[in-house]
């Protein structure tokens, strides 16, 4: 009997916090969202506290570190402040991502080749503390080789360009991801992927050889808003009816 390969699902809950931060309310709470995602089968929870504080807050990260039943994947820019936070909350995984203050969302992968010396030191500070380090990179063999040289244990292949591709470019982007996944696996790295994956484009990525984990956030939270709207309206209707 052959056992079916199971690709892990990391649920990114940043966008629950985006909704909360838009109003400065205490709801919706990403900590509660993480518990629901875990109950529904998430294998891990991803959070990306950005420098501009647009979604996940330090309070969230600290509470999640105490409450998660699975494990935390802390996405972060390679800054001193984030290193201090990671060493405090001790997540299972850290994924180092590039970050630009003004960007709408993460644009492109980390240029590991350009920052090898600094990243080598940064990665070792995390891995010496038992944290598994992943680098969020474009599907580029040069970046994969550099990821090995700086001591990363994993890479997360940036699927954003694939997610935005149209026409024949879709297959070109898929092939680049396939080749990168095989190359990274061959190089001894764990191979994760994510960014911009949704209900219509995830299947070919999940089916790809060597992919260990997908991190998906925006599409899942967006779908939850619509799927939950019916019962949310009914609940308010019932509450109002019960008040008069």
Ligand X SMILES: NCC(=O)COP(=O)(O)O
Q: Is 109 annotated as a binding residue?
A: no
Name which position in 196, 210, 211, 213 contacts ligand X (CB under 6 A).
196
What is the C-alpha separation between 4 and 1, in angstroms, rounded? 10
Q: Which positions from 176 to 215 touch ligand DXP by CB under 6 A, shown as an x/- string? A: ------------------xx--------------------
Is 48 in the active site? Answer: yes
Is 75 in the active site? Answer: yes
Residue among 4 and 200 whose Cβ is closer to ligand DXP: 200
218 counts as binding ligand X under rule CB under 6 A:
yes
3-state helix, strand, coil in the chain (%, to 5): 45, 15, 35
- How many residues touch ligand DXP under the rule CB under 6 A: the total is 12
By three-state DSSP, how is residue 101 classified? Answer: coil
Name which position in 13, 30, 68, 75 contacts ligand DXP (CB under 6 A).
75
Q: C-alpha distances in angstroms, 75 versus 96, 98, 182, 232?
A: 6, 10, 23, 31
Residues 6+ apart with CB under 8 A from 204: 174
Closest by CA position to 7, among listed 177, 205, 197: 205
161 counts as binding ligand DXP under rule CB under 6 A:
no
Q: Which 2-21 positions form the footprint of ligand X (CB under 6 A)?
A: 12
Name which position in 2, 3, 39, 105 contacts ligand DXP (CB under 6 A).
105
DSSP string, 21-57: HHHT-S-S-HHHHHHHHHHTT-SEEEE---TT-SS--
Q: Which 72-111 positions form the footprint of ligand X (CB under 6 A)?
A: 75
> Which of 158, 195, 210, 213 is an active site residue?
195
195 counts as binding ligand X under rule CB under 6 A:
yes
Residues 6+ apart with CB under 8 A from 141: 179, 180, 183
Is 116 in the active site? Answer: no
The residues that are catalytic are 48, 75, 195
């Amino acid at each position: 009997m052959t056992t079916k390969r199971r690709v892990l699902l990391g649920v990114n809950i940043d966008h629950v916090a985006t909704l909360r931060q838009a109003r400065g309310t205490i709801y919706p709470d990403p900590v509660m969202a993480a518990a629901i995602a875990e109950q529904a089968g998430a294998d891990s929870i991803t959070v990306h506290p950005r420098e501009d504080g647009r979604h996940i807050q330090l309070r969230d990260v600290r509470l999640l570190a105490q409450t998660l039943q699975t494990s935390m994947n802390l996405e972060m820019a390679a800054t001193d402040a984030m290193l201090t936070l990671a060493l405090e909350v001790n997540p299972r995984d850290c994924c180092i991502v590039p970050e630009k203050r003004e960007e709408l969302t993460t644009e492109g992968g980390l240029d590991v080749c350009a920052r090898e010396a600094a990243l080598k030191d940064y990665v070792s500070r995390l891995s010496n503390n038992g944290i598994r380090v992943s680098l969020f990179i474009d599907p580029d063999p040069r970046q994969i080789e550099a990821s090995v040289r700086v001591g990363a244990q994993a890479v997360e292949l940036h699927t954003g360009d694939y997610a935005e591709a149209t026409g024949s470019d879709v297959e070109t982007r898929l092939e680049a991801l396939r080749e990168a996944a095989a190359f990274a696996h061959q190089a001894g790295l764990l191979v994760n992927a994510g960014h911009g994956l949704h209900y219509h484009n995830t299947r070919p990525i999940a089916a790809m050889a060597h992919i260990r984990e997908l991190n998906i956030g925006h599409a899942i939270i967006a779908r939850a808003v619509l799927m939950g709207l019916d019962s949310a309206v009914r609940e308010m209707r019932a509450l109002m009816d019960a008040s008069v």
